[in-house]
Amino acid sequence: MEFGGLLEATIRITVPILLATLGEMIAERSGVLNIGLEGMMLTGAFAAFVGSWLTGDPGIGLALAVVTAMALAAVFSLFVVRWALDPIVTGVAINVLALGATGVLFRALTADTGTVLVASFPEWPLGNLARIPGIGPALFSQNGVGYAAFALAPLVMVALRFTSPGLLVRAAGENPDAVEAAGGRTALVRLLATLVGGAFAGAAGAYLSIGYSDTFVENMTAGRGFVALAIVVFARWSPLLAVPAALTFGLAMALQVRLQGQAGPGGGVPYQFFQMLPYVLTLVVLALVPRGAAGAPAALARPWRRSR
């Protein structure tokens, strides 16, 4: 198994998971558990595909993905933040809606054309670094979204810990009544944090369709949104810890693709066994993390209404 190829696959798989994880951390820090993350990623992937297909510009595809996912996040916020409905039920509904809508629209658009390849994000090799044997192409020949995913981790950490908006987001997730007492608006903070999380999810989906595969496939997120939800817990709501955690899951997914080559008729290991490994890892991680894990916002997923 070639190390360079495995590393490159790991990085490419990690990027959308990391983006979704960082966006979810922002939302959860405000107290909102966004179970609809998977649907927002899938919607972003489809929107990016359509935008790039119609215009030939992947930048427009990315913008359309972000806007579309944010619109879906706004719908989620309306039910969960404004009307204080159950985030799990609402999130499941969002995911099912996204899966059905993108599938129907994709078939309608491509019924007469078959597989469609679209313009993708160009790679930006970093000079001689990209020529380092083994690791150069994987680490230093990414597209802009790939570089941004890893750069955003420390930026999100700094924003949440050392800026006024970030501290307000964390306060909304820890003690929403204190935010109101200080003259803030908890509902607005949570709405905006969820919209930012939706934007990250849209960018993650865009990377899948026009930064990784150059096309759209129905249900192409394949559970990555749920993996991101698990990573948030595993990383203790820390943006910096999210990087190695996302890389671990990315490696597991890259390995399962390569290990499927060992599956075959007549005594080989069934390929379905390897396909389930990343999700088994997700369950193991969730089982090992104790309830009430350190780092969880105190008011996470708790409905809040302004006192009258």
More confidently predicted of 223 and 43 = 43
Instruction: Kindly report the average pLDDT of the chain as a whole number.
Output: 89
Return the pLDDT at 115.
75
Mean pLDDT over 125-148 rounds to: 89
Q: 163: which DSSP letter? A: S
β partners of residue 143: 123
Q: 211: which DSSP letter? A: I
Q: What is the pTM of this model?
A: 0.93
Return the pLDDT at 118.
93
CA dihedral 189→194→199→204, nearest 10 degrees, is: 140
- With 80 as the cut, is the pLDDT of residue 277 above it? no
- With 60 as the cut, is the pLDDT of residue 197 above it? yes
Mean pLDDT over 127-142 rounds to: 87
Residues 6 or more apart whose CB falls under 8 angstroms from that of 32 comprise 77, 80, 81, 87, 190, 193, 194, 197, 301
Q: What's the rounded Cα separation, in Å, for the pair 71 and 2?
A: 42
Position 95 confidence tier, pLDDT thresholds 50, 70, 90: very high
Position 258 confidence tier, pLDDT thresholds 50, 70, 90: confident
Token readout for 308 is: 């009258």
Q: Helix, strand, or coil here: 282?
A: helix
- With 70 as the cut, is the pLDDT of residue 307 above it? no
Token readout for 169 is: 């987001």
Token readout for 38 is: 């998977």
Q: 229: which DSSP letter? A: H
Return the pLDDT at 81.
94
Residue in this structure with the two tokens 């570089």, named with its chain if needed: 147
Position 292 confidence tier, pLDDT thresholds 50, 70, 90: low
102-107 LR contacts (CB < 8 Å, sep 24+): 102/42, 102/43, 102/45, 102/46, 102/216, 102/218, 103/218, 103/219, 105/46, 106/46, 106/49, 106/216, 106/218
Return the pLDDT at 85.
92
Which domains does the chain possess?
3-123+137-288 (1.10.3470)
Mean pLDDT over 230-251 rounds to: 93
Lowest mean pLDDT among 117-131, 150-164, 190-204, 247-261: 247-261
Return the pLDDT at 113.
75
Position 290 confidence tier, pLDDT thresholds 50, 70, 90: low
Return the pLDDT at 52.
96
